[in-house]
C-alpha cells in the first residue's frame, strides 16, 4: 500500500525571495513563441492531480506553487514538504491543482522538473544525515557550491529540506580562499590578510589546505574555518586531532571525494563539518506526474 511517512520537515519557504522573475524566466524558456498544445485544450476549467510514483523526500513545493501561481492556478497540498513518500509500487496523491487547462499544461513540465530534482536532492541529503545520526557524530553534513546555474535556490532549498547544511550560497556569502586564490596571491597569509581588508569583521574566512603545515598557516593568519581537502579518512582524523589540540576556536571542514558509501569513515570528533557534492550532483530524481482528472463517460 502506498504511504507517506512523517509530518514533514520545518518549512523553509519563508527564506525565499520573491520568485516571480525566476519563474517567468523558466516559463519563457519553455514557451519561447507559440504554445500549440495549449491552443488545443483552451481555457476550460480543469482539475489535475499530482502523484508521486517513486520513493523520496518531497521538496520544491514553494517553487511549484510559484509556477502555478504565475499561471493563475491554485495548488492544494495533501502532503507537507519534507515528508518521506513511499508509493510501494503504486502512486501517492500529493496535491490537487486547479486552473484553466491551457495554463495548467503550461506549468506542468516546469513544475514537475522542479519537484523531481529538488526531491532527489532532499532524499540524498536525508540519507547522509541519517548516516550521521546512526554514527552518533555531532558535526554538520553540508553540500557545496557545485550547483546547477539558474537552479541555485531550488537546490540549496532542497538540501535544507533534507536536513543537510546548504554551505555558502554564493561568492558573496563567505570568503573561501581555495588553492587558486592562494597560488595567484602568493601565500595563505597574504591572501587571508587581503580578504579581511575587503570583507571586514562580519564575514567568515575559510581557507582550503592540503597539509597540516598549510592548516597551521591559515589558523595563524586568522582563518575562521580551515578546509582539509582531499585527505584520506585516517590522515584526516590524525591532522584534525593535532589541530584541535593546538587550537579549539577554528572550525575544521573535511571535503573531497566523500560519498554516501564513505562518509561514515570521515566522521571524527575533531571534524566539525563534512561537505560533499554527492548530496546534489548525480542524484536520482523522484518520479512525479500531473494528470487531468478524467470524468467517466457512460
Summarised one tens digit per residue, pLDDT across range 225-237 is 999 999 999 999 9
Computed over every residue of the chain, the mean pLDDT equals 94
Give the pLDDT of residue 4.
Answer: 56
**Per-residue model confidence (pLDDT) at position 6:** 52
74 carries an active-site annotation: no
Cα–Cα distances in Å, from 210 out to 161, 188, 262, 268? Answer: 32, 12, 19, 18
Which residues face 77 on adjacent strands?
95
Q: Which pLDDT score, from 0 to 100, does residue 192 have?
A: 97
For the ranges 5-19, 22-36, 54-68, 100-114, which has the lowest average pLDDT?
A: 5-19
> Phi and psi (nearest 5°) for 25?
-65, -45
What's the whole-number mean pLDDT along residues 209-220? 97
So what's the pLDDT on residue 89? 87
* Average pLDDT of the residues in 17-44: 96
pTM: 0.93
Q: Which helix (H) or strand (E) holds 93?
A: strand 92-100
3-state DSSP helix/strand/coil percent for the chain, to nearest 5?
A: 40, 20, 40
Q: Would you place residue 278 in the very low, low, confident or very high pLDDT band (cuts 50, 70, 90)?
A: very high
Per-residue pLDDT tens over the stretch 45-94:
999 999 999 999 999 999 999 999 999 999 999 999 999 999 998 999 99
Average pLDDT for 116-140: 98
Asked if residue 78 lies in contact with residue 94, where contact means CB atoms within 8 angstroms, the answer is yes
Report the pLDDT value the prediction gives residue 1, as an integer from 0 to 100: 39
**Residue 3 reports pLDDT greater than 70:** no
Distance of CA 130 to the CA centre of its chain: 16
Work out the number of other CB atoms within 10 angstroms of the CB of residue 21. 8
Residue 7 binned pLDDT confidence (cut-offs 50, 70, 90): very low
- Cell numbers describing residue 172: 558573496
Whether 129 shows a pLDDT value over 60: the answer reads yes
Give me the helices (H) in 136-187, please. Answer: 152-161, 179-185
What's the confidence (pLDDT) of residue 180?
A: 96
pLDDT of residue 5: 60
Check residue 59 and give its pLDDT. 97
The C-alpha atoms of residue 122 and residue 118 are separated, in whole angstroms, by 6
**Strands, DSSP E only, in 167-249?**
175-177, 205-209, 225-229
Contact present, 115 and 286 (Cβ < 8 Å)? yes
Find the catalytic residue in 53, 103, 146, 291: 146
Amino acid at each position: 500500500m502506498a504511504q507517506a511517512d512523517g509530518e514533514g520537515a520545518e518549512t523553509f519557504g519563508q527564506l525565499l525571495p520573491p520568485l516571480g522573475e525566476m519563474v517567468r524566466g523558466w516559463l519563457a524558456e519553455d514557451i519561447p513563441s507559440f504554445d500549440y498544445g495549449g491552443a488545443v485544450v483552451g481555457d476550460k476549467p480543469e482539475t489535475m492531480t499530482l502523484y508521486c510514483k517513486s520513493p523520496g523526500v518531497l521538496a520544491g513545493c514553494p517553487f511549484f506553487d510559484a509556477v502555478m501561481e504565475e499561471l493563475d492556478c491554485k495548488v492544494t497540498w495533501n502532503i507537507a514538504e519534507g515528508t518521506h513518500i513511499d508509493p510501494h509500487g503504486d502512486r501517492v496523491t500529493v496535491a490537487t491543482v486547479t486552473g484553466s487547462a491551457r495554463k495548467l499544461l503550461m506549468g506542468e513540465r516546469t513544475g514537475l522538473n522542479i519537484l523531481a530534482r529538488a526531491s532527489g536532492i532532499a532524499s540524498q541529503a536525508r540519507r547522509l544525515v541519517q548516516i550521521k545520526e546512526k554514527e552518533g557524530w555531532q558535526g554538520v553534513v553540508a553540500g557545496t557550491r557545485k550547483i546547477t546555474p539558474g537552479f541555485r535556490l531550488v537546490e540549496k532549498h532542497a538540501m535544507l529540506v533534507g536536513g543537510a547544511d546548504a554551505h555558502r550560497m554564493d561568492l558573496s556569502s563567505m570568503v573561501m580562499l581555495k588553492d587558486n586564490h592562494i597560488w595567484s596571491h602568493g601565500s595563505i597569509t597574504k591572501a587571508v590578510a587581503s580578504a579581511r581588508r575587503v570583507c571586514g569583521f562580519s564575514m567568515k574566512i575559510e581557507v582550503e589546505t592540503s597539509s597540516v603545515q598549510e592548516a597551521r598557516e591559515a589558523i595563524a593568519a586568522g582563518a575562521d574555518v580551515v578546509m582539509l581537502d582531499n585527505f584520506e579518512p585516517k590522515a584526516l582524523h590524525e591532522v584534525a586531532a593535532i589541530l584541535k589540540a593546538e587550537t579549539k576556536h577554528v572550525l575544521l571542514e573535511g571535503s573531497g571525494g566523500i560519498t554516501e558509501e564513505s562518509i561514515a569513515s570521515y566522521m571524527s570528533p575533531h571534524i566539525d563539518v563534512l561537505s560533499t557534492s554527492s548530496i546534489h550532483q548525480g542524484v536520482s530524481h523522484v518520479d512525479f506526474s500531473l494528470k487531468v482528472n478524467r470524468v467517466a463517460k457512460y
